[in-house]
Structure 1
Amino acid sequence: IYLIENLWQFTSLTKLSLSGNVIEKIEGLDSLVGLKWLDLSFNNIKAIEGVDTLVNLQDLSLHNNHISVIENLDTLQNMQFLSMGNNFLSQFSNVMYLRRCNSLYGLNLAGNPLCNEENYKIFVVAHLPNLVYLDHKLVDEQTVSDLLVHENTFYGKGILETDALEQKKKDDEELQIHWDAFVEHLNGPQLFDSMCADDPDAHKLTHLSAVQATLCIQIFKNGLAQHQRRESEVNLFISSLQVALAKNQEKASWGVTNFRKKQLPQMLEAFKEDINHLQHTLMTLELELVVQLEVGQGKEQVQCRDLENQHYNKILEISMATLKKIARNELKEDLPIDVRMLFVDKETLTNILKSSHDIHILKINNREDELVTRVNTWKSLLMMSIHDKEVTRNRTRILEIKNFRAHIWSQMEKAYFSKLQ
């Protein structure tokens, strides 16, 4: 345990063996970025974790542990050998996960439940075509021949399933970004479709214009742009916060260092004044930092109605022109009968368009209210988190200053009276 807790001191290590130490959790390896060979075999490890910083690792042994899922190896792109024998791996999805390890050409899975599955070797070789060694044996010609026989069924099906899983993961990640930007399901005609759901005439009018797609896509793009701006502002704030904390700490350290350089005064009262002055300086710096960290909250606006107004005006313009053509029997387009029935007269058509416009505006208002509420909730939670963290830090800092003053005064009293004796 002592060794694991102090591994950070050995940043230049390239090889490390912790085999047979009854380790239950991988930890304490973050700083060992130079490691190329790591042996964690014969332990009680249940999950692969804490190795993502070991980007130079080439050989990893987790043989004889209690691991049931291969995971968290995405950053180990230099890994060439992986030993996972005698674990609890039962699913072929673990093999498919290793497809992201492009440098892997040696793999040991012997002793895992999945090795008992039919066509185990063929499956592994099919999904990891760069493998040279499997279960400590050279991938033989017979396995490759069997793979070619099953290529159109077993291999093709496996690849398709893997590609489908990867595409689903990609789609889920993309959707999460849209949720974070508060514009989920707006990268298509979804908003327009929802506006038209309670407006049967709106679908008929789509024969006259295609601006509805532009409406949704523009809202979606605006939302993503605002999300990027918010992310940039938050990152800038966090960065500025770290800079302010560092500068404040530097000034405080400078003050303490200068104080320690002072000679022991002849009178204890004189030293008390120096201590009080130091405490006042540290408290002032802390107060300045609190003032610097006060953050105002801006106001978000979502301008969707202008886009709907543009859509309404465009539809109105096209509809009036179409009405005139029908009246003059000059319309060349072949419109469906139900659409032609909308063009009875100007008043009827105007009422239909106005009714559709009102429904659309109501849908936009509802979505805008939801968006603004979610943005404000996000802001409130963010500011609350920052504020709570800063309050805790500030109180801890003030307590440290008071304790430091008491400690220095106590030490100085002892030194002063010892000098008098």
Structure 2
Amino acid sequence: MSRLYGSIEPSVVDEDMLQKAVEEQGPKEEAGRIAKAEGIDFKDVLQLRLDFRNILKIDNLWQFVNLTMLQLDNNIIEKIEGLEMLVNLVWLDLSFNNIEAIEGLDSLVKLEDLSLYNNRIPQIENMDALEKLQVLSLGNNILTSLENKEIAAVKYQDDIDDLKRSENLILTKLKEESEKNKELEYHKAAFVEYLNSSFLFESMYAEDVESEKLSLIPGVAGLLETYKSKCTAVCQNIFEYGLNHHEKREAEEQIFSECLQEAINENQELGVQKIKDNENKAIELYSEIQHISDTEIIAVKIEQIGTEISHLKETLMTLEIQLVDQLEEIIKDFERNTSDMASTFIETVQGYMAQIRDFENHHNEKLLEIAISTLEKIGKGIFDEDIPDDVRMLFIDKDTIVNAVAASHDIHLLKIDNLEDDLITKINSLG
């Protein structure tokens, strides 16, 4: 359980040991040479390894005030001490030592991970100050008291439960994100990403400075909600049609691939059979030649073999030409089908986008009516609604409010046009 002194002289943590450890674990090559020449300030060190150094006593660490990780495992330390100034320590490894008591940790209020594995600790004590401690390793000690074990279990069970809950939440979140990303990639492959939402409507108003002011005019909020609902519904139709088109496209590609492979396989099988037939005839002729002594007859047989080989070449060339013609026909059918599907997709998109433009034009007309009516009420002094000053500034005259509505309308139409162009460009890439 404990480590023995052995033949190596026990050591104390001193300036020479610390300087050497910092240099070994610090920057390398040119950066290391510069750091060594200029000197490394112990206050800048965040992590320090002092393992396997036969350390008997912890000392001289007071300068490492910003240290967050300290590794002191596999030494012969008997007492936890000299850590008072390490108030920023988060991770501390004191495993495989000869420690007999938990002490000297009161100032380590930020400590989250503490390993005291494989020591001589008989009981759990002096840990009330470690409120942030999440991981505690006390295995292979001499905790013979069942009471101590139960106290430890009760004391840290809440932390363990919290860690398990956090881990489950993280795993669930990662799984959800993975599924969302997978779904988004499929939507992108179908060219309809984000169209199953109010994405288009939100994008129209994201860069529309005037729309925020116009929306505060009494009566406009309800108009906007109606427009948003209609616009989103049409985008949902495009989304569903796009997914359906993508499924048909994939099915068409699968059929195309199967037809290609089937044609190639059939052609190869015929070719192999022709070659085998030719080989069998050649073997028969060679067998006959071996039993013939008449040179004239042998010459005839050899000529016959040559004729068979020529016929085989012609047959294989014919099969190759037939395969090329067949593949060309399969490819033409596939291109024709996919082109027809793409054309139908484009026509459908254009039809839906025309609906959205109609909604935009209708919305613009209604908005202008409300704006002009508001202007007239303000002019007659019968408008008593409370609106912000920057909105009221739009009603200086008719031109100002008309221009504001027109500017908003132009931005919306541009967004609609851009989405349509983008969709058509992507669909055309399939052809």
**Larger relative contact order (C-alpha < 8 A, sep ≥ 6)?**
2
Structure-1-length-normalised TM-score:
0.45
Pair member with larger Rg: 2
